[in-house]
């Protein structure tokens, strides 16, 4: 089954090459902005009262993907779905960023880890009651080679 989606906006960040990008949004203090295409602006009403938001976006992977990868923070291979490696069968990125302010169709955010001009697929408010799990076990990540 083929699934067809369209970008609702574009994410601007200081990073133009993958080598510049932080490994995760949680490790980034970089400022960026999220430009919402005009026909979707009505959808951001009341978003400014949330301090953190999920961005879902399309990752550019011209080389395709492998099902086994060596993640940035380990020296062992793992199945792609046991990692957050960006290039995957459906290369959808997921980052929680800090929402600083909303100005018209532009969201100013802190903590970006994606490349400049990344196509935005969705925004969801981050709600700890929905999104936080206590005592999570993190498998190989707990024994990773690099910090």
Query: How long, in residues, is the chain?
Result: 147
Q: How far apart are CA 128 and CA 5, in angstroms?
A: 28
Give me Rg for the CA atoms of the chain: 16
- The least distance separating its own copies from the CB of residue 57, rounded to whole angstroms, comes to 10
- The least distance separating its own copies from the CB of residue 20, rounded to whole angstroms, comes to 19
Among 31, 58, 61, 87, binds its own copies (CB under 8 A): 58
Q: Is 35 within 8 Å of 106 (Cβ atoms)?
A: yes
Residue 64 token pair: 């395709």
Q: Does 61 bind its own copies (CB under 8 A)?
A: no
- The least distance separating its own copies from the CB of residue 31, rounded to whole angstroms, comes to 17
Among 56, 64, 101, 109, binds its own copies (CB under 8 A): 56
Residue 36 token pair: 């919402």
Among 4, 19, 29, 63, binds its own copies (CB under 8 A): 4
């Amino acid at each position: 089954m083929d699934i067809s989606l369209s970008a609702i906006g574009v994410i601007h960040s200081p990073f133009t090459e993958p080598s510049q990008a932080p490994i995760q949004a949680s490790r980034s203090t970089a400022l960026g902005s999220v430009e919402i295409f005009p026909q979707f602006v009505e959808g951001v009403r009341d978003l400014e009262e949330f301090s953190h938001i999920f961005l879902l976006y399309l990752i550019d992977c011209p080389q395709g993907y492998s099902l086994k990868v060596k993640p940035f923070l380990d020296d062992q291979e793992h199945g792609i779905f046991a990692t957050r490696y960006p290039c995957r069968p459906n290369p959808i990125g997921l980052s929680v960023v800090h929402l600083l302010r909303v100005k018209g169709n532009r969201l100013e955010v802190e903590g970006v880890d994606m490349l400049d001009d990344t196509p935005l697929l969705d925004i969801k408010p981050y709600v700890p009651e929905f999104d936080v799990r206590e005592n999570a076990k993190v498998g190989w990540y707990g024994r990773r080679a690099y910090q």
